[in-house]
Structure formats: C-alpha cells, structure tokens
C-alpha cells in the first residue's frame, strides 16, 4: 500500500511563501501549490498591513488627510499626498489658483521621489537574485534624496508636505544649493546601475523570460506604470492627462521597443524601463531647479485665507511652535488672521458637496484618489486606487508553470508596496 502511494506521482505540495518575504516590500502571503520545483498555482493573500486609513480620514479634517495618505505607499509618500490634494482642490474649484512655485516644488519632490522609489525597486530586486551591490549602491543614492527631503520637509518619509492649496513651506535658504549638489551626485552615480546589470550575463539569465506578462494580460487586469510600458505601450498620465504643469516639461515616456535588442514584457524589461525612467526624472528635476531659481520669493500656498494654511511659518527660537512673527501677527496685529488661524486649526475648511477622482502617474502606475464631500469639513469618503493592488493579480499569470525561485524575481519586478495595497 505504501509503495503504491509512493509511485502515484500526482500529489502536490502546498507552500506558504510569506506572510513575510524580502521581495514583497511588506507583508504578503503567497500560497503556492507545487509539483516539485514547478509552481502549479499561486494565490496571493493580502490584508496583513490593513491600517484603516480611509475610514480614519472620515473623522479628520480635509487638511489632516495628507498626514494619513502619506503613510500608504511609504516608499513613494509624496505621490499619495499629491493625488489626494489634487482631488480636494478639484472639489474646491481652485486647481487654476495653485501658485506656480508650489506646482514647481510639487513636481520636483515627486520626480525625486520617483527616483528614490525606483532605486528601492531596482536595489531590492537585485538583492533577491544575489546582486547585493545593486542594493547597497541603490540605498546610497536614496539616502542623498532623503537627506534633501529632510531638509525641505523636516522628515525622511511620511512628510505630509503637499497640502490642499500648495505645499507646507518653501525650500530652505540652502535648498537650491543642496539640490544642485544632489543633481550632480545622481548624474555621477546613476550610470553605475547600467554598468552592473545591463550586460551582465548572470543578471540577464536570471531576469530574462521570467515573470512574462504581455500587453493583452496587462490591459485585462488594469496594469499600469513600468509593468505596462515594459510591454511596449508608452502610457503615462503625465503626458496623457497632465497635472501640476507637467505639459510644460520636456521629457520622454520610457517604454520597451523591439529595436532595444532584448525581449519585452518580462522582469528584465521592467528593470530597464525603471532605469531609463530615473534619467527622465532627473531631466525634469534639472528643469525644476532652473524654474525655482527664477521664482524665488513667490508664494507656495493658495491666496485664500479660508483654505490655505500659512506656508511661511518658521520654528521659534525654542525649536518648537510657530515663529514669533506669526504669533505677533495673529495675536496682536490682525483679528481676521486670528479668526482664520483658529478656524483652520480647530474646524478646518469646508469643501463643496460633490465627488472627484484624480489619477496621477506614481512610480508604480496609476495612483488615483476618489474623494466624496457632503459639504462639511471632513471627507464623507476617501478612497485610493493603488496600482500595486491591481498588479498583485498578475502574480498567477507570471508565475504558474515556472519555478519556485522565479516567483521571487516576478514579485520583485512588480514592485508592490503592501501599505498601499492593504491600506
């Protein structure tokens, strides 16, 4: 009897990959059914990082929403803030009133954040297949970008910097000089990734043909971003539905082309697309630096005291609180300023009843924010369309029929961040 069971050959092995694994950038459970090393089926299990952010936002003011959404995709927090604020501004009817310098700073911060996010995707993706140096140099460049974010916003992540009406504060006095140094650093060091990986036969052998998903499958599952562009479709919301003045910047949409010399729609193509996108983002950052030099001193918050919180606040001499100048103004010079300050801080501004959906091009794909207002000072409903949520549906398509070891490569090439998926 035992001999008969041993010779059957139709039994499969069910393996739990996760709920914690390095390539998932969070807490993801993959239930693999395998025949030996071959994956027969994959079922992603999500929800381990659910934080109740969207429900919490219904009990906070519109302005406080930035503090919540920035914690969703924690690798690209500024994009969450931008999508949310653009949706709120559409409901408020102030999209065309956002100061020019505020939009320039938003674009600057988003494109630097895009580079930082791609560095995590490329670095950790390389680490999964043993290319540890790609990870160490990736985080080296990311640290430089986070240092700049800290100088501008006070925080390395979870910034709550982009606010309805503009940004929380202008660049510091040394901001443009630090930005120039950062641009020079990235120009000098970004070429290393191509040298390490592009023609490396081991890297290519591990990535090419793995995690294949063609254009038809991408369209069926709502896949966007680098995964979609790696199939050859140059779809980018910065070009198709411009926001924050992207139509005024000179950059190209990076997508796979047959003449590139390597096949598209696989893990290697996604890596190359992200590599090219970092250079295009750096090109936009250079243009932002030039524009910001010309707009020094211009406002960075909408000129409506009933909506915009003061964006020129400075920390007091005790290292906390507001500056003496602001306190003197609201306490001793202007009753109206005191009233506006009190109303904004305690109650918040009212948003006309209605709903709006604004999609933007995050590092991972289409990140959309849908907000519903009942005319009050708090969102009736706020929902984010995170690209990673759609993309995880792709795991079975990419992995079934392949090897267990290739699951890690495929999931890493998707670049899911579970905080954004689970919310």
Q: What are 206-226's pLDDT values in tens digits?
A: 888 888 888 998 899 989 989
pTM: 0.91
The string over 206-220, giving b where at least 16 C-beta atoms fall within 10 Å of a residue's C-beta and e elsewhere, is bbeebbbbeeebbee
pLDDT at residue 146, as a whole number:
92
* Alpha-carbon gap, residue 1 to 20, rounded angstroms: 39
pLDDT digits (tens, 9 = 90+) for 167-206: 988 888 888 999 999 999 999 988 888 887 777 788 788 8
pLDDT at residue 44, as a whole number:
86
Q: Is the pLDDT of residue 6 over 70?
A: no
pLDDT digits (tens, 9 = 90+) for 382-415: 999 999 888 888 888 888 888 888 888 888 888 8
CATH class of the domain defined by 62-306+349-381: mainly alpha
User: Could you give phi then psi for residue 356, rounded to 5 degrees?
Assistant: -150, 145
148-153 own/partner pairs: CB under 8 Å, 24+ apart: 148/112, 148/178, 148/179, 148/182, 149/109, 149/112, 149/113, 151/175, 151/178, 152/109
Q: Give 36 or 380, the one with higher predicted confidence.
A: 380
By the 8 A CB rule, do 265 and 398 touch?
Answer: no
What average pLDDT does this structure show over 311-327?
A: 64
pLDDT at residue 47, as a whole number:
82
pLDDT confidence bin for 285, thresholds 50/70/90? very high
CB atoms within 10 A of CB 293: 11
Q: Residue ranges per domain, the chain?
A: 62-306+349-381
pLDDT confidence bin for 78, thresholds 50/70/90? very high
By the 8 A CB rule, do 228 and 274 touch?
Answer: no
* Alpha-carbon gap, residue 386 to 80, rounded angstroms: 9
pLDDT confidence bin for 7, thresholds 50/70/90? low
pLDDT confidence bin for 232, thresholds 50/70/90? confident
pLDDT at residue 291, as a whole number:
93
* Alpha-carbon gap, residue 266 to 415, rounded angstroms: 13
pLDDT at residue 323, as a whole number:
67
Instruction: For the chain, give the mean pLDDT.
Output: 85
pLDDT at residue 259, as a whole number:
80
pLDDT at residue 160, as a whole number:
87
pLDDT at residue 315, as a whole number:
60
pLDDT confidence bin for 65, thresholds 50/70/90? confident
């Amino acid at each position: 009897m035992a001999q008969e069971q041993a010779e059957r050959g139709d039994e499969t092995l069910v393996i739990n990959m996760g709920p914690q694994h390095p390539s998932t950038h969070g807490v993801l459970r993959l239930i693999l059914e395998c025949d030996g090393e071959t994956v027969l089926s994959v079922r992603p299990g999500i929800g381990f990082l659910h934080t109740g952010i969207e429900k919490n936002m219904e009990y906070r003011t519109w302005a406080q929403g930035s503090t919540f959404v920035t914690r969703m995709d924690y690798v690209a927090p500024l994009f969450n803030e931008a999508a949310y604020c653009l949706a709120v501004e559409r409901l408020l009817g102030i999209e065309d009133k956002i100061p020019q310098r505020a939009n320039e700073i938003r674009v600057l911060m988003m494109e630097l954040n895009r580079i930082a996010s791609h560095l995590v995707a490329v670095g950790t993706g390389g680490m999964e297949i043993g290319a540890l140096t790609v990870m160490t140099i990736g985080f080296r460049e990311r640290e430089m970008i986070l240092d700049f974010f800290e100088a501008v916003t006070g925080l390395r992540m979870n910034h709550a910097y982009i606010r309805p009406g503009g940004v929380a504060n202008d660049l510091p006095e040394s901001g443009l000089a630090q930005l120039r140094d950062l641009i020079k650093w990235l120009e000098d060091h970004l070429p290393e990734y191509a040298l390490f990986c592009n023609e490396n036969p081991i890297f290519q052998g591990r990535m090419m043909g793995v995690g294949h998903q063609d254009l038809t499958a991408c369209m069926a599952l709502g896949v966007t971003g680098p995964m979609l562009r790696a199939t050859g479709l140059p779809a980018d919301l910065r070009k198709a539905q411009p926001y924050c003045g992207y139509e005024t910047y000179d950059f190209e949409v990076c997508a796979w082309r047959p003449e590139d010399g390597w096949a598209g729609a696989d893990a290697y193509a996604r890596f190359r697309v992200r590599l090219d996108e970092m250079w295009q983002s750096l090109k936009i950052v250079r243009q932002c630096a030039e524009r910001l030099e010309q707009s020094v001193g211009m406002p960075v918050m909408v000129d409506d005291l009933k909506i915009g919180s003061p964006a020129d606040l400075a920390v007091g001499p005790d290292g906390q609180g507001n500056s003496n100048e602001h306190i003197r103004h609201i306490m001793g010079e202007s009753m109206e300023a005191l009233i506006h300050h009190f109303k904004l801080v305690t109650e918040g501004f009212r948003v006309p009843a209605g709903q709006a959906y604004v999609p933007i091009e995050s590092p991972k794909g289409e990140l959309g924010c849908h907000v519903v207002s009942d005319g009050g000072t708090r969102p009736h409903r706020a929902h984010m369309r995170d690209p990673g949520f759609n993309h995880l549906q792709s795991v079975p398509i990419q992995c079934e029929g392949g090897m267990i070891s290739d699951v890690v490569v495929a999931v890493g090439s998707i670049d899911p961040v579970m905080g954004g998926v689970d919310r």
